Structure 1
């Protein structure tokens, strides 16, 4: 039976940091006890720099970092605790295990302050908790990539850290192992009271694991939201593009009140729910997310086909395993195709083909207008 690990009560991790190094940084954020906050962004956005700043491994910053009531950094007051005094657990992308030590000995390193027997019991309990019982005496080169990452995660947690920092922890393993490790981290989170920060450039990983996602770009915080909110209401077209979203367009408000908004898209009027913050005549950018698009053949109408109908034809149909990528070129706006994915079985059932005339319904309550 997998042992339950008792974790201490932890405070929130709160920070406000600016930096002027290779990646200028300006981030004010917090992570609550038991929360997993994902730092998401492309390479060079400042994710790892921020993580290393919190750990005390990167010094070219100004501001403050607090863990509950404890101050780790306050540059105005001259406070800067070294990494070993911040009580952090950190998992690196490349594991960072001691190659000459076995799995058990790697876990004993952060427990050197404890009596030997107590340290052994704690280390063995954590190895069992991450499903490595019986592999205690194996050195890193005798373990698989997934097993090494489990050792690294157990080592980060064995000393009961005040916060857990994960720097792209699963990127060095294959896809199947990555899915297993994500599932195990999701289960472990039920026992981890420490605030957890996950650096990743993998949107799927962030959506699966995070309570909130922080989108970073060039060291700037662009949006912090729950996963569902982020995907349905990105704060700006820049955020939407960083998330890989498509179907970003420009339009003009024809009419707006508390009940209904009428949007002109290159001569095609679209009806949306009322959004009084937008005014008549205003030019706006808007997005049609995948969940807003309902596709059907003109000769096979389905419920919803009367809602913001867009006539067009299939410009591109590419089968990608269990899914298909579609590009629909609207008749009224041939230079602005709508792109999305559908299940492969839908393509086969509807007998869709490139060049076929189709109709899209743009579901009003799913369309998103970006605030100016």
Structure 2
């Protein structure tokens, strides 16, 4: 990555009395959403608490865009770190209205907040009609939106989010996800987002740090890490890739949208009401990709992409293989049986067609 001034540089070593150990050294981008991903007990929340200054590791070096927050000689306490923190529970002041909770953040802000910035945050999170309500009058998703706004109004240098959707049911999660996507596209500050949900990563993360039992297993752009078959979290049944493309056509008759992911590489996906010119993300799972040696026009599958076999590796399932494919500028993975690979003569360098079901694409 770039120079230290353009990174969040972190080195942490922590030993807890319960024998849990954290050992991480990473360089995270200073923009976009970085997902801190891993199963329960992997150290995600501990990592975030160290970033916030709520825990002090034995060895700790944290440098944010050239500013030292922690070293062997220095430890900035939490109140001196320019962070906004959103917990699993909204933790609003119950005796204050939504407006009152936001005013509390305004009073803590290092610099005065303009009315324009306040209105921008209110509009971004859709809070205008909620300002006079008290926490007990808000849904779980609405409470979290107020909590996010409160964290942003202190004008943090980094926004830390610790599984903000974990306490919500599915309908409330779906309610708040569009607002999180807006944050990703609108905010210029980095967001460190703790989650154990691959779906959340696919929808709005740009970069990912993978943890397991306190150890760093991988870091990198989401599209690169999600396609790695050597990571248990993304291998086998969950193997796939993440593409991004621009909507170039909508078919109202068939309720489909056509997106261009790379030059002359198009996919038909379900039309969710997006406008031509908008950008979509699609996750293509390897289990939803089949291979043919020639283009098959007698199939119900709409997406048929010419590709070249780049690699063939064993899957966790002894009867399956993973076929890595090059599709112009993009990479794709197909998960097929060993028998099919043998009968089709699948080998490195072979030209094939990858068939992808539209219903398998996650937008």
For the superposition of Structure 1 and Structure 2, which TM-score range results when normalised by the shorter chain?
A: 0.5 to 0.7
Q: Which of 81, 103, 118 is equivalent to 1:108?
A: 103
Q: 1:28 to 1:231 in 2, by over 3 A?
A: same
The answer to whether the Cα contact below 8 Å between 1:108 and 1:123 also exists between their aligned partners in 2 is: no
User: Do structure 1's residue 43 and structure 2's residue 25 form an aligned pair?
Assistant: no
Superposed CA offset, 1:158-185 (max 9, x none): 1211001110011222223323322221
Q: Which residue of 2 aligns with 1:285?
A: none
Q: Which residue of 1 aligns with 2:11?
A: 16
SS of alignment partner, residue 34 of structure 2: strand
**Aligned counterparts of 1:16 and 1:200: Cα–Cα separation in 2:** 20
SS of alignment partner, residue 190 of structure 1: helix
Q: Which of 190, 193, 207 is equivalent to 1:212?
A: 207
Q: TM-score, normalised by structure 2?
A: 0.64
The answer to whether the Cα contact below 8 Å between 1:14 and 1:67 also exists between their aligned partners in 2 is: yes
The answer to whether the Cα contact below 8 Å between 2:110 and 2:154 also exists between their aligned partners in 1 is: no
SS of alignment partner, residue 131 of structure 1: coil
**Aligned counterparts of 1:214 and 1:365: Cα–Cα separation in 2:** 31
Q: Which residue of 2 aligns with 1:163?
A: 158
Q: Which residue of 1 aligns with 2:123?
A: 128
**What is the root-mean-square deviation of aligned Cα atoms in Å?**
3.7
**Aligned counterparts of 1:121 and 1:141: Cα–Cα separation in 2:** 28
Q: Which of 56, 59, 62 is equivalent to 1:62?
A: 59
Q: How far is the alpha carbon of 1:94 from its aligned partner?
A: 0.8
The answer to whether the Cα contact below 8 Å between 1:16 and 1:65 also exists between their aligned partners in 2 is: yes
User: Do structure 1's residue 145 and structure 2's residue 125 form an aligned pair?
Assistant: no
Q: Where do 5+ consecutive residues of structure 1 fail to align?
A: 1-9, 249-287, 309-334, 341-356, 368-372
SS of alignment partner, residue 228 of structure 1: helix
**Aligned counterparts of 1:202 and 1:247: Cα–Cα separation in 2:** 12
Q: How far is the alpha carbon of 1:18 from its aligned partner?
A: 0.8
Q: How far is the alpha carbon of 1:291 from its aligned partner?
A: 5.7
Q: Which residue of 2 aligns with 1:243?
A: 234
SS of alignment partner, residue 186 of structure 2: coil
Q: Which residue of 2 aligns with 1:327?
A: none
Q: 1:117 to 1:82 in 2, by over 3 A?
A: closer
Q: How far is the alpha carbon of 1:149 from its aligned partner?
A: 0.8
Q: TM-score, normalised by structure 1?
A: 0.62
User: Do structure 1's residue 336 and structure 2's residue 318 form an aligned pair?
Assistant: yes
**Aligned counterparts of 2:112 and 2:57: Cα–Cα separation in 1:** 41
Q: Which residue of 1 aligns with 2:172?
A: 177
Q: Where do 5+ consecutive residues of structure 2 fail to align?
A: 240-284, 310-316, 323-336, 351-363
User: Do structure 1's residue 360 and structure 2's residue 340 form an aligned pair?
Assistant: yes
The answer to whether the Cα contact below 8 Å between 1:53 and 1:61 also exists between their aligned partners in 2 is: no
**Aligned counterparts of 2:96 and 2:39: Cα–Cα separation in 1:** 35
Greater shift after overlay, 63-72 or 161-170? 63-72
**Aligned counterparts of 1:55 and 1:15: Cα–Cα separation in 2:** 12
Superposed CA offset, 1:21-58 (max 9, x none): 14211111232232211111100000000001100111
**Aligned counterparts of 1:62 and 1:73: Cα–Cα separation in 2:** 9
**Whose radius of gyration is greater, 1 or 2?**
1
Q: Which residue of 2 aligns with 1:80?
A: 75
**Aligned counterparts of 1:57 and 1:336: Cα–Cα separation in 2:** 45
Q: Which residue of 2 aligns with 1:331?
A: none
User: Do structure 1's residue 194 and structure 2's residue 189 form an aligned pair?
Assistant: yes
